[in-house]
């Protein structure tokens, strides 16, 4: 799969990614669904899970929204110099925990009441979005890049245009079914689904060359 510029003959990560570079063929990433911990019993915290130092991931917006809604925000993914809350555990609502992986990540994803994805760029896919939904956790994201292809607005999370929308979405997150989140991720973003899509593309290529 292609992550950058290419052309009409490349296979891209999503439909929006393909359109951006003048292509039309895409295949979504797939995830081994049985590795993730599913839970419909959520704890009272929001989760930010991304490379914090990359400004386009939007940690500043996540922190602002958490403060506005008076929600605890666990920040996993390192530190950012411009955001002191990611360095020091001094703010009562913002809890930086550094990088996480493996079972620690799976537990966080399953317990969070929502994953915040306030991206500031046209992200071509987003594995953490799928990981959260597999865990039964809704995703609240800025409507950039492939987000509208991954998230079913109002069913598996919310697509937001700005921080104000995100604040409103957090107040409605209890309306989202954990089972619906997982069902959507299993049906569309499993390893098996990815295999079927690639097999379909290979079959088309084979017949085209005959």
Nearest Cα neighbor of 169 from 179, 185, 156, 181 is: 156
**Mean local confidence (pLDDT), 38-60:** 97
pTM, 2 dp:
0.92
Separation CA 157–CA 184 (nearest Å): 11
* HSE value, Cβ hemisphere, 13 Å, CA-based, for 17: 24
Confidence class for position 208, pLDDT limits 50, 70, 90: low
Map out the domains of the chain as residue ranges: 31-184
- pLDDT score at 8: 61
pLDDT at 210 over 60: no
- pLDDT score at 6: 60
Instruction: Tell me the per-residue pLDDT of 95-114, one tens digit each, with 9 for 90 and over.
Output: 999 999 999 999 999 999 99
CATH class of the structural domain 31-184: alpha beta
**Mean local confidence (pLDDT), 159-179:** 98
- pLDDT score at 88: 82
- pLDDT score at 197: 83
- pLDDT score at 36: 96
Q: Residue 39 CA to chain centroid, in angstroms? A: 17
For residue 23, give both structure tokens.
Answer: 């292509």
- Mapping DSSP to helix (H, G, I), strand (E, B) and coil, where does residue 159 land? strand
pLDDT at 66 over 60: yes
For residues 73 and 96, the answer to whether their CB atoms sit within 8 Å is: no
- pLDDT score at 1: 45
* HSE value, Cβ hemisphere, 13 Å, CA-based, for 81: 0
The residues facing 31 across adjacent strands are: 190
State the average pLDDT for the chain: 92
pLDDT at 5 over 70: no
Separation CA 69–CA 94 (nearest Å): 12
For residue 122, give both structure tokens.
Answer: 């046209």
Nearest Cα neighbor of 191 from 130, 148, 132 is: 130
């Amino acid at each position: 799969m292609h992550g950058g510029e290419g052309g009409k003959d490349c296979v891209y990560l999503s439909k929006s990614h393909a359109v951006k570079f003048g292509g039309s063929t895409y295949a979504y990433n797939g995830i081994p669904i049985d590795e993730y911990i599913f839970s419909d019993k959520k704890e009272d915290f929001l989760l930010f899970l991304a490379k914090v130092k990359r400004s386009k991931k939007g940690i500043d917006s996540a922190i602002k929204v958490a403060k506005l809604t008076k929600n605890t925000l666990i920040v996993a993914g390192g530190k950012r110099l411009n955001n002191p809350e990611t360095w020091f555990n001094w703010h009562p609502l913002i809890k930086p925990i550094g990088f996480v992986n493996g079972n620690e990540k799976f537990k966080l994803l399953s317990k969070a009441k929502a994953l915040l994805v306030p991206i500031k760029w046209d992200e071509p896919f987003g594995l953490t979005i799928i990981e959260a939904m597999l865990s039964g956790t809704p995703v609240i994201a800025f409507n950039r890049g492939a987000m509208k292809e991954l998230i079913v607005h109002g069913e598996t999370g919310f697509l937001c245009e700005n921080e104000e929308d995100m604040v409103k979405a957090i107040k409605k997150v209890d309306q989202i079914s954990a089972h619906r989140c997982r069902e959507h991720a299993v049906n569309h973003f499993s390893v098996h689904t990815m295999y079927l899509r690639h097999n379909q593309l290979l079959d088309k290529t084979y017949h085209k060359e005959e």
